[in-house]
Amino acid sequence: MAEWALGMETSLGEADRTARVSLVSRAQQGDIAAFETLLRLHERRVLGTAYRLLGKLEDAQDAAQEVFLRMHSHLSSFDSDDRLVPWLYRVTVNVCYDLGRNRKLRGGAASLDLLREDSGFEVQSPQASPETESLEQERQRLVEQGLQVLSDRERAALILRDLEGLTADEVGNILGISGATIRSHIASARIKLRQFVKQRMGMKP
Amino acid sequence: MNCTIGEERIALYSGADLPPDEAREVELHLAECSGCREVLEELRSSRKALRRLAASESFLSATAETVRNRVMAEVETSRIGALSTRVPPASKSLGFPMPSWRWALAAVAATAILAVWLSTGRIVDPPLPPQQAERSEPVAVLPAEPPNSAPPEASREQAVEREQVQPESGLGPPTPRREVARTLPAPIRASTAAFDRPPARFDPGPEQAAVEKSTVAKIITDDPNVVIYWVLETEGID
């Protein structure tokens, strides 16, 4: 079971799990307030995943909107929140793939620096980092940038496994990839990310 | 990295993605290889940074709210659209079997009655309760019909109650319409009969006098469940 699911088990308790099932059920019956609560429960998960996959907040916003509209039209196919979450990840990845492809067709992917500027973050190269900035903060920024050098499959696998905390098998199910292949993608993504960070921190890879 | 164990296996080991037997094999190698231990440390640091990244995404809250508002607006719009395509005609949505054109005719009839009343100062009365009818004098307003010649069912549509206020005696049993009139609440039973009578004959209290200065027109539709009462204040018109 994924870490997020384990976390839900331990922190929410049975009552909250029942409440979530009830939420899905109420939303299926047209309860608009229940649907909005479902949105609030999952919006960070969907939006965060989309943002890491696409690297641009504006695109992530469009992707998340599309995902939730699809969720609304497919509500009847969920019998509980447990089935909803993997479905949300799968649709998020697919929608982001489509958006990413369209973006590349429109004129290529934006540079990482531009992505960061678009998202309201100040972009700093490793050389320009303030001396007082901690090594960990620097690494964090580089990791975020490094995600964009990965292939679509590698990025999705790494985000779902290391950022969202799903198991490798769950990631494989979501992406429609066999267990051995998904582990290969995960390992490859980790290695590339390590190399990206190490190169930019002035260390020998 | 030139070790036979391979960086891929160390990468998987860093995330606990290796089966136990392979993990044990990697651990044995790591115990002897400082280079691989360094690689493992870097992999773990990157993974930790990635997790911190997720925790620091507070800026997503505002965007999430925007997404939520957009989705909810879209969902509401689609729901309204779906409802509007399912809405039945107005006459059915009211829960009455009467078609809307009959409502229109009823309104025209009511207007005609009102016009007659305004021009003549008189109005057709609904029946009085027996005890009042006995004390009241008949007030002819519209051409009276024999009590037993009530309009046939087919002509009841948009017809105005034409019954006169007459003493019960000698008129035979009340018609079903009179029974309907008796079920009315007290204010609606007030009529021009009371209005035209000298107040001294009834000696009403102040409240009753106010009630009795109103007039009621009754419009019967072909639906026995739908009867329209038109309450007219008659004060000042004499």
Tens digits of residue pLDDT in A119-159: 333 334 444 445 545 788 888 889 988 998 999 999 999 99
When CB atoms are compared, the residue of A120, A142, A146 closest to B59 is A120
> In which band, very low, low, confident or very high, does the pLDDT at B212 lie, cut at 50, 70 and 90?
low
In 3D, which of A176, A196, A185, A184 has the Cα closest to residue A86?
A: A176
Pairing assessment for the beta strands B214-220 and B227-233 based on DSSP bridges: antiparallel
- How far apart CA B4 and CA B11 sit, in angstroms, is 14
pTM, two decimals, is 0.56
Contact B67 A68 (CB under 8 A): yes
Q: What is the mean pLDDT of residues A179-195?
A: 94
User: In this predicted structure, what is the pLDDT of residue B67?
Assistant: 94
User: In this predicted structure, what is the pLDDT of residue B105?
Assistant: 74
Contact B79 A32 (CB under 8 A): yes
Contacts of B49 in chain A (CB under 8 A): 136, 139-140, 142-143, 197
- How far apart CA B161 and CA A146 sit, in angstroms, is 87
A-B Cβ pairs (cutoff 8 Å, strict)? 120
Contact A69 B75 (CB under 8 A): yes
Task: Kindly report, residue by residue over A21-52, the tens digit of the pLDDT.
Answer: 788 889 988 899 999 999 999 999 999 999 98
Mutate one of A41, A66, A162, A197 to test the B interface: name it (highest B CB count within 10 A).
A162
In 3D, which of B144, B125, B140, B102 has the Cα closest to residue B231?
A: B125
Residues with Cβ within 8 Å of A201's Cβ and at least 6 positions away in sequence, in order, are: A126, A135, A138, A139, A142
Strands (DSSP E) contained in B21-175 are 159-160
User: In this predicted structure, what is the pLDDT of residue B85?
Assistant: 60
> In percent, how much of chain B has pLDDT > 70?
45
Task: Kindly report, residue by residue over B30-71, the tens digit of the pLDDT.
Answer: 999 999 999 999 999 999 988 888 777 778 888 999 999 999
Contact A191 B8 (CB under 8 A): yes
b/e sequence B200-222, b meaning 16+ C-beta within 10 Å? eeeebeeebeebbbbbbbbbbbe
Contacts of B68 in chain A (CB under 8 A): 36, 39-40, 43, 68
Contact B50 A48 (CB under 8 A): no
Contacts of B63 in chain A (CB under 8 A): 47, 57, 60-61, 64
A35 touches chain B (CB under 8 A): yes
A65 touches chain B (CB under 8 A): yes
Task: Kindly report, residue by residue over A87-100, the tens digit of the pLDDT.
Answer: 999 999 999 998 88
Token pair belonging to A175: 């992406």
Contact B42 A48 (CB under 8 A): no
